[in-house]
Amino acid sequence: MTARALLVLASLLVAIFAASPARAERLIVSVSNHRVTVTPNYSGEELVLFGSVERDADTPLGRTNYDLVVTVIGPRADMVTRRKERRVGIWINSDYRQFLQVPTYLALFSNRPFDQIASPEVQRRQQLGLNNVLLMQRVGPDYADVVPDDVFRSAFVRLRSERGLYRQETSAVTFLTPTLFRSTIPLPAEVPIGTYNVEIKLFTDGALVTKADTAFEIVKVGFEQFVANTARQNGLAYGFVTAAMALMTGWMASIVFRRD
């Protein structure tokens, strides 16, 4: 009991020290729902992220020109982008680029354009904007990200954006008061199941002041979860049931529609 209390105390102390660097602001954030459940009538959802900038005695008094960048990163997966080319009169996939462990969902929100928040150098270092987020690729023998206007990278970002899975909005974060902010996180219906990390970065005068993390998860529950789990863990039984279901449906129909 005492050991546990000590542990809690220690971790609290660590947390306090970690959260109070030289610059004295601190971010308190939360999302409206930490667990999005997928039910039969699920068709996407919109989460609200809200929070405030906590100031203390060390904070320079007149400082209120805050900028905020919210990055939402969905579960990661490997993907391939292919390019079609015309060969002997027909269009076939010729060239491809592998994207390794890239986010399946990626959203970047801020209160004003990234150019106005920080210098290009800071933007690159802090991965502000879809052009600066690290998308690891396999280029020949190397593993690296490439320049933003690379054909494969820009096609990849464009195709994901068309499906609403990659998005960047530089007016999505609203400061309600100089220190209180909110933003919405739109999740389209085809958003992948899994854990989503939300990273909030606070900037002032073009420099990073502090950052905070939170997360939410999208999970299947009830019937959806049961079906998905059975399909994965009991393939044979699942196949039998589906096949039996097919035969039953066919047989029922022939009874229902029997005329003689």
Partner 1 sequence: MQLYLPIADIPVNVFLVLAMGAAVGFVSGMFGIGGGFLMTPLLIFVGIAPAVAVASVASHIAASSFSGAISYWRRRAIDPTLALILLSGGTIGTALGVWTFTYLRSLGQLDLMIGLSYVVLLTSVGGAMAYEGLRAMLRTRRGGAVTLRRPGSHGWIHGLPLKMRFKRSKIYLSIIPVIFVGLVIGFIGAIMGIGGGFILVPLMIYLLRVPTSTVIGTSMVLTLVTMIFATMLHAVTNHLVDAVLALILMVGGVTGAQFGARAGQKIRGEHLRLLLGLLVLAVGIRFAVELVIRPTDLFTIRETGGGAP
Nearest residue (CB) to partner 1, 81 versus 168: 81
- One character per residue 186-205, x = contact with partner 1 (rule: CB under 8 A): ---xx-xx------------
Q: Does 80 bind partner 1 (CB under 8 A)?
A: yes
How many C-alpha atoms does 177 have within 13 Å on its Cβ side? 6
- One character per residue 20-59, x = contact with partner 1 (rule: CB under 8 A): ------------------xxxxxxx---------------
Q: Does 156 bind partner 1 (CB under 8 A)?
A: yes
Q: Does 62 bind partner 1 (CB under 8 A)?
A: no
Q: Does 217 bind partner 1 (CB under 8 A)?
A: no
Q: What is d(CA 139, CA 146) in angstroms, rounded to the nearest whole number?
A: 9
Nearest residue (CB) to partner 1, 10 versus 231: 231
Q: What is d(CA 27, CA 6) in angstroms, rounded to the nearest whole number?
A: 26
Q: Does 139 bind partner 1 (CB under 8 A)?
A: no
- The alpha carbon torsion through 44, 111, 175, 190 (nearest 10 deg) reads 10
Helix axes 222-233, 235-256, angle to 10 degrees: 120
Q: Of the candidates 48, 45, 29, 49, which has an alpha carbon nearest to the alpha carbon of residue 37? A: 45
Number of residues that bind partner 1 (CB under 8 A): 63
The residues, ordered by sequence, that sit 6+ positions from 177 with a Cβ below 8 Å of its Cβ are none
Looking at 21-29, 48-56, 79-87, 209-217, which segment touches partner 1 (CB under 8 A)?
79-87
Q: How far is the CB of 168 from partner 1 (least distance, A)?
A: 18
Q: Does 228 bind partner 1 (CB under 8 A)?
A: yes
Q: What is d(CA 185, CA 165) in angstroms, rounded to the nearest whole number?
A: 11
Q: Does 137 bind partner 1 (CB under 8 A)?
A: no
Q: Of the candidates 128, 83, 137, which has an alpha carbon nearest to the alpha carbon of residue 106? A: 128
Q: What is d(CA 112, CA 99) in angstroms, rounded to the nearest whole number?
A: 29
Q: Which tokens hold the place of 63? A: 């400082």
Among 15, 16, 19, 77, binds partner 1 (CB under 8 A): 77
Among 22, 61, 89, 149, binds partner 1 (CB under 8 A): 89
Q: Does 221 bind partner 1 (CB under 8 A)?
A: no
Among 2, 86, 121, 142, binds partner 1 (CB under 8 A): 86
Cβ 109 vs Cβ 130: under 8 Å: no
Q: Quickly count: other Cβ atoms within 10 Å of residue 81's Cβ.
A: 18
Q: How far is the CB of 72 from partner 1 (least distance, A)?
A: 19
Q: What is d(CA 74, CA 94) in angstroms, rounded to the nearest whole number?
A: 29
- Contacts to partner 1 by CB under 8 A: 38-44, 77-86, 89-93, 96, 98, 104, 152, 155-156, 158-160, 189-190, 192-193, 220, 223-225, 227-228, 231-232, 235-236, 238-243, 245-247, 249-254, 257-258, 260
